[in-house]
Amino acid sequence: MTGRNQVHEARRNSHTMIVLTALMAGAGLMCIGLPAYSHDAGSMDKATLEKVFPTKPGYSPYAGRNFPTLPLFGDTHLHTAFSMDAGAFGARLTPKDAYRFARGEEIKSNSGQPVKLSRPLDFLVVADHSDGMGFFPQLMGGDPELLATSQGRKWYDEIRGGKGAEAAMDIIVSFSNSRLPKGFPTPGTSAYRNAWQETIKAAEAYNDPGRFTAFIGYEWTSNTGGNNLHRNVVFRGNGAQASLVEPFTTLRPLGSDNPADLWKWMAATEQKTNTEVLAIAHNGNLSNGLMFPMVETFGKKLDREYADTRAKWERLYEVTQTKGTGEAHPFLSPNDEFANFEIWDKGNLDGSVPKSKDMLEFEYARSALKNGLVLEAKLGANPYKFGMIGSSDAHTGLSALAEENFFGKTAPQEPSPERLTKVFIDNPKTGIKIMDWEVGASGYAAVWATENSREAIFDAMKRRETFATTGPRMAVRFFGGFDFDAKDAHNRMPAAVGYAKGVPMGGDLTAAPAGKSPTFLVAALKDAIGANLDRIQVVKGWVDKDGKAQERVYDVAVSGGRNIDADGRCKTPVGNTVDLEDATWTNTIGAPELIAVWKDPQFDAGQRAFYYARVIEIPTPRWTAYDVKRFGNKALPGTRMALQERAYTAPIWYTPSKP
């Protein structure tokens, strides 16, 4: 039996057990219920029949349920050998390999090691770079036009000589500065077209509605001057539709590095293909202050059109990935003790320009959400009204992001005794250096969907009913309204209450009823094979009466019988059971689930605001601790060895009624 068939067989067996269990439960109810009414059927009156076969509201609490019930986990940002930098780094896995692995098959990694996920993913987007798609196969296939150039020959020789990482960084820098060799693949060339068609074929071959969703997509690669403004573009539709276009690139005259031009391409693509597309902005921490502008962008002043257009096409933001987590920064949120999590804040993508503190405000999700409220007051629209997801940005073809099963960002960072001490980025001109150990095992995109299909997952992303995780597959619900009360936290079906009384994550509240403050129902369930939960927090941002953006973090549910103070904070840490020497922990602290109803104690009905939930796990070993345990080596001083994994929901926005 092949690996693919084994995965399907396991899923079929699991489904069969569920069905049998349900049938057995139903039979049991019939045997218990009927004897009480076992007299002649002809003597049954209407009242008796209604007791045996109740109609509305009925016995089953699940009958007629029409809201999303599936938390699905996936990766919307994975590169294979079809990306020029990934190939140069040593990636040899193709889009087909990436989908096979994500579906649960065991495969050989780029370094020849067997690798498998603990559980299959629910969906995947192979998002190879738009620029240079197919360049690596073309180069290493000995394309004469490329090898006739000094750059092409240099990269070819470096890669064949075992210096692929050096070649990859040179390719990135050359691309950032528009210095590319003749023969470089662009839309319309055979190398480019073939790579795109192979990408589409792989997605079509492995898409299996109901079990696994393989999306068609790519990464638009705006990186001028090393400032990362990448976007992952995802198609809702099928291969026939996606084949009608080729990815939008950044090199002129065919492409552009301006996101506004990408949005124009997206509008034209929807018309041409008769299917929808959306763009997911790359984690902004390597944009050097350009991801979330406030005044102008690409020489044009921000206006209502910009705000409306960006909000339409960019419904989601990638808040966490291998190159750092971009939710918050200690400089921007000094009162948030959890803000300093897997931060990358040294410079731009290639390390050519050091980071300055004035750039940070325009790179991180929380400050962007706050500034979006400010811009909405000025422009009448909010350009930064996004939901949050995580994804990998791995350049290995492997969405292997569990701390104990982390296969790195690039092929040289696959498990080895050396990766704890190797350098990832080293720019001698600026002195910027990033070590391999600073790469994070993060993250995954989670959606609440009605089924596992392209259409249902895309629709969930579009309505922003999403959350990000840094790796664990915890389930998080977040609802806002004006009528939740404490007893709703005791309901074992919080979603039924949540949809009935409010709006889910990604939704909007408007015009608060007189005398009422928003109330929020938030629930989190631990990863079934992961760590217990420390706490749930609600992060609020608002614009005060002076037009300035403010923020505050509230603890709303904590584990272990700890107390939340009158100021909304729990000052007592959850504890720590991590044994670094053995790379283990125990679930003797924390809680498997947390749920609460929280009311905003400082609500002003006239002020714009947003709220999102952040769920924190108890401390667990980081991937670096597993490396030390398994390879028996030592980590460098300063290496992070433990962490508290987390999830971030899409916000719920409050907008006052117009005066």
DSSP 274-307: SS-EEEEE--GGGSSS-SS-SSEETTEE--HHHH
Question: Do 48 and 77 belong together in one domain?
Answer: no
Residue segments in the chain with a per-residue pLDDT below the cut of 50: 1-44, 48-49
Asked whether residue 464 is assigned to any structural domain, the reply reads no
- Per-residue pLDDT, 140: 85
Question: Do 16 and 111 belong together in one domain?
Answer: no
* Calpha distance 404→621 (Å, rounded): 8
Whole-model pTM: value is: 0.90
Q: Distances from the Cα of 128 to the Cαs of 86, 125, 230, 524, in angstroms?
A: 9, 9, 11, 33
If DSSP states are collapsed to H, E and C, what string results for 373-402?
Answer: HHHHHHHCCCCCCCEEEECCCECCCCCCCC
| Token duo for residue 240 | 């026939």
Asked whether residue 205 is assigned to any structural domain, the reply reads yes
Q: Hey, what's the torsion of the CAs at 54, 59, 60, 64, to 10 degrees?
A: 50
- Per-residue pLDDT, 56: 61
248 and 255 Cβ atoms separated by less than 8 Å = yes
Residue holding tokens 């991180």?
Answer: 364
Indicate if the alpha-carbon torsion angle 65, 67, 71, 73 is positive or negative. positive
Asked whether residue 58 is assigned to any structural domain, the reply reads no
Q: ∠ CA 395-400-402 to the nearest 5 degrees? A: 135
316-321 and 277-281: which strand pairing? parallel
Asked whether residue 329 is assigned to any structural domain, the reply reads yes
- Per-residue pLDDT, 445: 98
Residue holding tokens 């590095």?
Answer: 257
- Per-residue pLDDT, 24: 32
Q: ∠ CA 653-655-659 to the nearest 5 degrees? A: 180
Question: Do 499 and 433 belong together in one domain?
Answer: no
- Smallest Cα–Cα separation from 580: which of 523, 506, 643, 648? 643
518 and 496 Cβ atoms separated by less than 8 Å = no
618: Cβ–Cβ under 8 A, 6 or more apart, which residues? 531, 532, 533, 534, 559, 574, 575, 576, 577, 585, 587, 589, 590, 644
Question: Do 34 and 76 belong together in one domain?
Answer: no
- Smallest Cα–Cα separation from 521: which of 553, 552, 491, 551? 491
* Calpha distance 217→257 (Å, rounded): 18
In degrees rounded to 5, what are phi and psi of residue 187? -50, 135
Q: Which helix (H) or strand (E) holds 21?
A: helix 3-33
- Smallest Cα–Cα separation from 247: which of 323, 192, 289, 202? 192
Q: Strand, helix or coil at 444?
A: strand
Domain region containing 516: 476-655
Q: Which helix (H) or strand (E) holds 459?
A: helix 454-462
* Calpha distance 266→272 (Å, rounded): 10
Asked whether residue 471 is assigned to any structural domain, the reply reads no
- Per-residue pLDDT, 467: 98
594: Cβ–Cβ under 8 A, 6 or more apart, which residues? 523, 524, 533, 535, 536, 557, 558, 559, 615
- DSSP 8-class letter at 452: S
Question: Do 348 and 443 belong together in one domain?
Answer: yes
In degrees rounded to 5, what are phi and psi of residue 216? -95, 135
Domain total of the chain: 3
In degrees rounded to 5, what are phi and psi of residue 343? -85, 135
Give 20: exposed, middle or buried? Use CB within 10 Å, 0-12, 13-18, 19+.
exposed
Question: Do 14 and 92 belong together in one domain?
Answer: no
Asked whether residue 596 is assigned to any structural domain, the reply reads yes
Question: Do 46 and 95 belong together in one domain?
Answer: no
Q: Hey, what's the torsion of the CAs at 404, 618, 471, 166, to 10 degrees?
A: -60
Question: Do 142 and 30 belong together in one domain?
Answer: no
Question: Do 119 and 45 belong together in one domain?
Answer: no
| Token duo for residue 164 | 């692929």
- Per-residue pLDDT, 51: 55
> Can you give the length of the chain in residues?
659
Question: Do 543 and 582 belong together in one domain?
Answer: yes
114 and 106 Cβ atoms separated by less than 8 Å = yes
CA-based end-to-end distance of the chain: 67
> How confident is the model over 594-633, as pLDDT tens digits?
999 999 999 999 999 999 999 999 999 999 999 999 999 9
- Per-residue pLDDT, 35: 33
- Smallest Cα–Cα separation from 607: which of 550, 556, 554? 550
Cα within 13 Å of Cα(447), Cβ side:
26
Q: Which helix (H) or strand (E) holds 424?
A: strand 423-427
Asked whether residue 463 is assigned to any structural domain, the reply reads no
Residue holding tokens 């509008």?
Answer: 267
Asked whether residue 470 is assigned to any structural domain, the reply reads no
Question: Do 566 and 510 belong together in one domain?
Answer: yes
- Smallest Cα–Cα separation from 317: which of 256, 250, 384? 384
Q: Which helix (H) or strand (E) holds 617?
A: strand 609-617
Question: Do 598 and 635 belong together in one domain?
Answer: yes
643 and 624 Cβ atoms separated by less than 8 Å = no
DSSP 472-498: ---EEEEEEES---GGGGG-S-HHHHH
